[in-house]
Amino acid sequence: MSSLLVKSEKRSHQHCITHITPESAGWKYVGFEVYELKTGDYLDFSGCDQEVCLVLVAGKCSVITEDSTLTDIGGRMSPFDKIPPHGVYLPMATDFRVIATTDLELAVCKAPGKSKIRKVRHLKPEDMTVMDRGEGTNQRLIHNILMPEHDADSLLITEVYTPGGHSSSYPPHKHDTDDMPRESYLEETYYHRLNPPQGFAFQRVYTDERDIDETMSVEDKDTVLVPRGYHPVAAPHGYELYYLNVMAGPTRAWKFHNDPDHEWMLN
């Protein structure tokens, strides 16, 4: 199995099914965890030098910090409801508790913090950018959760819906070179969900030199690591694909470079 493919696990320890750290991924910036909680379950997190964004993939919860309480937030019971999620931004050095008020699928996105002056804030669906991208069998739906138009230290977060028979993150693009303003260096995780859940999709990660060239079959709740290179995705007929992207790097900017072999299709 590819080292870039992280399978979900049923864990009794704090309900965690996915646990990715910079150390386990072999990079510097992105941390990513997924928790599955039953109604009434709770998690405590201790503040550190990282900023955190909680994304409620499905379900509702309350989030309590020393200075604020967000009570019973959330709206969708499945990511395939296709409405933007609720989220919570937590600046570095923030201690917090999450209490599930329904069954909850919670993504915890982490990256280096830089400032303690930012405040805890509720990321509401109406504040997120919703757009269609691409055309034909390359069309997909985008929810920008915490992209450059939203304030943060390091994190960039978006989610994508790819219909069955469609491609996305396509034409292939990369963001692995710190060459601003032309291209930014960003590590990235793809957390995949399939509808129906017994489905699968494909993701390729490759570089120009082909020192990385992996094509992976991804199943429901798998995560793909993109340390560098191009990273297109394809969903077979009959299975709708959702994925949550988390990115971070030395500069908080999403500047990408298309694979020149395939950029022609944009014209």
Write down the domain spans for the chain: 5-266
Over residues 55-69, the mean pLDDT reads: 96
Token match 């709740």: residue? 221
Whether the predicted pLDDT of 115 surpasses 90: no
Give residue-wise pLDDT tens across range 66-85.
999 999 999 999 999 999 99
Mean pLDDT score across all residues of the chain: 96
* pLDDT band with cut points at 50, 70 and 90 for residue 48: confident
| Domain topology for 5-266 | Jelly Rolls (2.60.120)
CA distance 259 to 251: 22
Per residue in 100-113, pLDDT tens? 999 999 999 999 99
Mean local confidence (pLDDT), 244-251: 98
pLDDT given for residue 116 in this prediction:
78
Two tokens, residue 80? 């395939």
- Percent of the chain having pLDDT more than 90? 93
Q: Which one-letter DSSP state was computed for residue 25?
A: H
Q: Tell whether the torsion through CA atoms of 140, 146, 150 and 154 is positive or negative.
A: negative
In the predicted structure, residue 12 carries a pLDDT above the cut 70: no
146-173 mean pLDDT: 97
Would you say residue 92 has pLDDT above 80? yes
pLDDT of residue 10: 75
pLDDT in the model for residue 14: 72
Do the beta carbons of residue 262 and residue 172 sit within 8 Å?
Answer: yes
Query: pLDDT by residue (tens digit) across 17-27?
Result: 999 999 999 99
